[in-house]
């Protein structure tokens, strides 16, 4: 009932005739003493508020009336509420009226009503109350004044009016009115959430300077801010400062720091903080471990990530759904789908139900390894699990279908989305455009692109780049550049990938001059060439046999601080191998290994090809063994290079041996391999050799490990080859 004026009396006032109202205005006398004015207000509010109308319309008189009843805060509230609703209330001076009421409420300890009045004043845009309150310093008891300004900070903070809150904070501290730390914390949180880190730091420094002792919430907020800004040294210094100031870190403190350190790759320090937490008796939870585990996965240290999960279980820390989903996602990203499935099974054993995120990751993993059939099985099983597929689910399956060339299946799935209440987004159409373009169906790609536009969706740079790639693939450079211009008109700036596609396409159509012009334009637009850009240009020179120019671009790349990739080195190695420059082959191979790059099958094949061409077959075999020791599988090209080298050197036994081993490994020789094997034989001997391979060597795997084949047919073939 505190805020309810006499509604009946107010209605009486509004229905009184104008003549009677004028008569009362002229003949009612206002008491001169405050006590009489107080009596008039109290009695009139109960029986006849009409008598108070002259007070409402006179600003000075209204303020005097408010102060006359300051000893009766409940009456103050009722009188103000009634007056504010009156049509003749002086709204121009209402900020001062609000301040008068607020002072009375604060002095009387009516914090709740005071908060409501502050909220009301600020919602009306009466921000001048802040200055009026500050100006009352000395006239109003300081505790009451600080309370009111704290309430202003509270209301501004609650409503995320951060700039207003910031202004109020500085007005308070500069006038010696120290805010309560909890309202300062609210301001700091808002500044942090809005990304205003410099302002937050300045507020924190002002707090310390003006003697506002930071609380644990203050420190945690600032630590979180520093970690998000990547200022980890500053965060660790603040941790030391809070401990020096006698504020004990909480679990939240450590979790915030561990999260920040993990995201920046400082996993060792993050792990050390877990031990520190444990030593201080603080609870270590999944929230503590999850960021470190994620960091290990993202850095490729899967064994370490698994070890941390085991450590969690040893400590009795329960794995959360987030923990499992994280592990499943990264395992699927690595192609370890079978292991991810085991994690899903373990999750359910621990009474944690997988969600759509869990299954989206598994579907993604299956698509990534090309097992789209299993991805579709998981997708179709969602209905039985009562899980609704979302846009991520559909886009992932469509991407998988596009990767295996099933564009019709992807299109049908897009059409089925509406049945599930899911609308295609830009990613959906970009996937279809890209998949169609890669499959060489440029018309379908353009159709999906136009459909996207027809639905009012704005294409992203990836969609445009996919179309550009398709046009460049068929040699339509002019159409590709037209699309680039259209991108710009649509407000989309071509990114590095777009330029790399254009550069790659231009060199393939034989326009090196255009490549360099485009490179200059790209740099002028503020884009820095990456290793893909440089590798495309190196490849362009290498394909034309311009090794010197390729090396110059490589040296420029390194000089610009761009780290060459495995592909970059492989392109250079292959180019030197084709030219018979074995020293260059070995130089670049050694350099890439020294720099910590891991050669792949294509790299090893290029080096083996170069060594075989230079008749350094012993070294070639060493690399053949090395690649297998590193878990890489030789393919038909590896075997064909070695077979060719042995044939050229007259090592027929070894050539047959390699051919047999190739087949034994499940690698089907192609006509090129067989042609190389029999190229030195006459027509009759070729037929005899082919029969021998089919019936004797390949038909009996027991013969493979023997050094001496002991066959008259083989001797005859060797003699024919020698002749």
Give one DSSP letter per residue of 474-501, joined into a string: TT-HHHHHHHHHHHHHTT----HHHHHH
pLDDT score recorded for residue 709: 35
pLDDT beyond 70 at 12: no
Contact yes or no for 613/579 (Cβ under 8 A): no
The distance of Cα 139 from the centroid of its chain, to the nearest Å, equals 54
Across 499-513, average pLDDT: 78
**Cβ-proximal residues to 173 (8 Å cutoff; 6+ apart), any chain:** 179, 206, 210, 212
Half-sphere exposure of 608 (CA within 13 A, CB side): 28
- Return the pLDDT at 656: 83
Tens digits of per-residue pLDDT, 150-183?
Answer: 999 999 998 989 999 999 999 999 998 899 999 9
Per-residue buried b or exposed e for 318-327, using 16+ beta carbons within 10 Å of the residue's own CB: ebbeebbbbb
Residue 604 has pLDDT above 90, yes or no: yes
Give the pLDDT confidence score for residue 720 in this predicted structure. Answer: 40
| pLDDT attached to residue 38 | 67
The pLDDT of residue 108: 84
Phi, psi of 140 (to 5 degrees): -120, 145
Instruction: Write out the DSSP string of 531-594.
Output: HHHHHHHHHHHHHTT-HHHHHHHHHHHHHTTPPP-HHHHHHHHHHHHHTT-HHHHHHHHHHHHH
- Under DSSP, the state recorded for 126 is -
Angle at 191 between CA 189 and CA 196, to 5 degrees: 145
Report, as an integer, the average pLDDT of 299-321. Answer: 91
For 188-216, write each residue's pLDDT tens digit: 999 999 989 899 999 999 999 999 999 99
Q: How far apart are CA 200 and CA 128, in angstroms?
A: 24
In which band, very low, low, confident or very high, does the pLDDT at 707 lie, cut at 50, 70 and 90?
Answer: very low
Q: How far apart are CA 450 and CA 443, in angstroms?
A: 11
Spatial contact of 172 and 149, defined as CB atoms under 8 Å apart? yes
Compute the distance between CA of residue 529 and CA of residue 526 in angstroms, rounded to an integer: 10
- Sorted by where each begins, the domain ranges of the chain are 424-494, 637-723
Q: Tens digit of pLDDT for each residue in 277-294? A: 988 889 999 999 999 999
Q: Rg of the Cα trace of the chain?
A: 40
User: According to the model, what pLDDT value does residue 691 have?
Assistant: 59
Residue 70 has pLDDT above 90, yes or no: no
The answer on pLDDT for 123 being more than 90 is no
Q: 30-44, 243-257, 692-706: which has the highest mean pLDDT?
A: 243-257
List Cβ neighbours of 182 (8 Å cut-off, separation of 6 or more): 215, 217
Report pLDDT for 121: 85
Q: In this predicted structure, what is the pLDDT of residue 14?
A: 47
pLDDT of residue 584: 92
pLDDT tier for residue 9 given thresholds of 50, 70 and 90? very low
At 306, the pLDDT band (50, 70, 90 cuts) reads very high
Per-residue model confidence (pLDDT) at position 718: 40
Query: pLDDT at position 31, please?
Result: 57
State residue 723's pLDDT score: 39
Using CA atoms, how far apart are residues 490 and 482, in angstroms rounded to an integer?
12
Residue 706: which pLDDT band, with cuts at 50, 70 and 90?
very low
532-557 pLDDT, tens digit per residue, is 888 888 888 888 888 999 899 899 99
Does the pLDDT at position 578 exceed 60? yes
* pLDDT, averaged across the chain: 83
pLDDT class for 490, splitting at 50, 70, 90? confident
How confident is residue 705, by pLDDT bands cut at 50, 70 and 90? very low
Q: Hey, CA dihedral for 238, 241, 243, 245, is it positive or negative?
A: negative
Asked if the model's pLDDT at residue 316 lies above 80, the reply is: yes
- 83 versus 414: which is more confidently predicted? 414
pLDDT at 33: 64
Residue 207 has a pLDDT of: 93
Higher local confidence (pLDDT), 28 or 583: 583
Cα–Cα distance between 178 and 85 in angstroms, integer?
35
Residue 649's pLDDT band, with cuts at 50, 70 and 90, is confident
Q: What one-character-per-residue DSSP string does 343-361 give?
A: HHHHHHHTT----HHHHHH
pLDDT(20) > 70: no
The pLDDT score that the predictor gives to residue 329 is: 94
SS3 137: strand
Residues in the chain, how many?
Answer: 723
Task: Please state, in angstroms and rounded to a whole number, the distance separating the CA atoms of residues 160 and 7.
Answer: 35
More confident residue, 687 or 338: 338
CA angle 543, 545, 551 (to 5 degrees): 95
């Amino acid at each position: 009932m505190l805020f309810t004026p006499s509604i009946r009396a107010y209605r009486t006032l509004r229905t009184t005739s104008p003549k009677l109202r004028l008569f009362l205005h002229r003949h009612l006398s206002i008491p001169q003493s405050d006590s009489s004015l107080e009596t008039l207000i109290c009695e009139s509010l109960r029986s006849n508020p009409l008598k108070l109308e002259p007070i409402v319309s006179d600003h000075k008189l209204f303020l005097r009336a408010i102060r006359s009843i300051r000893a009766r805060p409940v009456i103050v509230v009722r009188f103000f509420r009634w007056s504010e609703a009156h049509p003749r209330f002086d709204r121009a001076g209402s900020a001062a009226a609000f301040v008068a009421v607020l002072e009375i409420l604060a002095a009387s300890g009516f914090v709740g009503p005071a908060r409501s009045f502050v909220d009301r004043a600020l919602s009306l845009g009466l921000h001048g109350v802040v200055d009026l309150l500050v100006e009352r310093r000395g006239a109003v008891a300081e505790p009451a004044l600080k309370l009111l300004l704290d309430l202003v900070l509270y209301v501004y903070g609650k409503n995320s009016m951060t700039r207003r809150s910031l202004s109020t904070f500085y007005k308070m501290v500069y006038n010696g009115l120290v805010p309560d730390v909890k309202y300062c914390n609210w301001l700091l949180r808002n500044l942090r959430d809005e990304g205003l880190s410099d302002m937050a730091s300045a507020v924190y420094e002002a707090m310390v300077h003006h003697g506002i002792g930071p609380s644990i919430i203050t420190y945690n907020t600032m630590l979180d801010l520093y970690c998000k800004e990547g200022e980890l040294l500053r965060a660790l210094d603040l941790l030391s400062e809070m401990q020096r100031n006698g504020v004990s870190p909480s679990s939240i403190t450590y979790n915030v720091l561990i999260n920040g350190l993990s995201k920046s790759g400082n996993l060792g320090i993050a792990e050390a903080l877990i031990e520190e937490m444990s030593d201080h008796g603080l609870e270590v939870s999944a929230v503590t471990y999850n960021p470190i585990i994620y960091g290990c996965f993202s850095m490729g240290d899967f064994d370490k990530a698994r070890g941390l999960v085991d450590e969690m279980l040893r400590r009795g820390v329960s794995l959360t759904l987030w923990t499992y989903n994280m592990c499943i996602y990264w395992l699927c990203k690595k192609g370890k789908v079978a292991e991810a499935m085991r994690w899903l099974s373990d999750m359910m054993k621990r009474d944690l139900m997988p969600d759509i995120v869990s299954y989206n990751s598994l579907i993604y993993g299956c698509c990534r390894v090309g097992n789209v059939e299993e991805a579709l099985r998981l997708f179709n099983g969602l209905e039985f699990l009562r899980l609704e597929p979302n846009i991520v689910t559909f886009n992932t399956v469509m991407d998988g279908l596009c990767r295996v060339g099933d564009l019709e299946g992807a299109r049908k799935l897009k059409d089925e989305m509406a049945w599930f209440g899911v609308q295609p987004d830009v990613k959906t159409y970009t996937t279809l455009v890209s998949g169609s373009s890669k499959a060489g169906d440029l018309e379908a790609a353009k159709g999906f692109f136009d459909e996207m536009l027809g639905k009012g969706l704005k294409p992203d740079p990836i969609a445009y780049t996919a179309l550009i790639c398709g046009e460049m693939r068929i040699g339509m450079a002019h159409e590709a550049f037209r699309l680039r211009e259209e991108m710009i008109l649509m407000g989309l700036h071509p990114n590095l990938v777009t330029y790399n596609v254009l550069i790659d396409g231009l060199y393939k159509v034989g326009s090196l001059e255009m490549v360099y012009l485009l490179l200059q334009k790209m740099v002028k637009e503020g884009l820095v060439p990456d290793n893909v850009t440089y590798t495309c240009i190196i490849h362009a020179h290498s394909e034309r046999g311009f090794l010197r120019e390729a090396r110059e671009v490589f040296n420029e790349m390194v000089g610009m601080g761009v780290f060459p990739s495995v592909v970059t080195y492989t392109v250079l190695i292959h180019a030197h191998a084709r030219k018979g420059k074995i020293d260059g082959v070995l130089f670049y191979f050694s350099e890439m290994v020294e720099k910590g790059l891991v050669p792949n099958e294509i790299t090893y094949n290029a080096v083996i090809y170069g060594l075989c061409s230079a008749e350094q077959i012993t070294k070639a075999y060493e690399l053949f063994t090395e690649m297998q020791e590193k878990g890489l599988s030789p393919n038909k090209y590896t075997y064909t290079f070695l077979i060719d080298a042995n044939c050229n050197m007259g090592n027929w036994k070894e050539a047959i041996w390699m051919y047999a081993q190739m087949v034994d490994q499940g690698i089907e020789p192609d006509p090129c391999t067989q042609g190389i094997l029999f190229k030195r034989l006459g027509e009759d001997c070729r037929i005899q050799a082919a029969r021998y391979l089919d019936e004797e060597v390949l038909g009996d795997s027991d013969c493979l490990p023997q050094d001496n084949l002991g066959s008259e047919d083989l001797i005859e073939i060797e003699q024919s080859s020698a002749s």
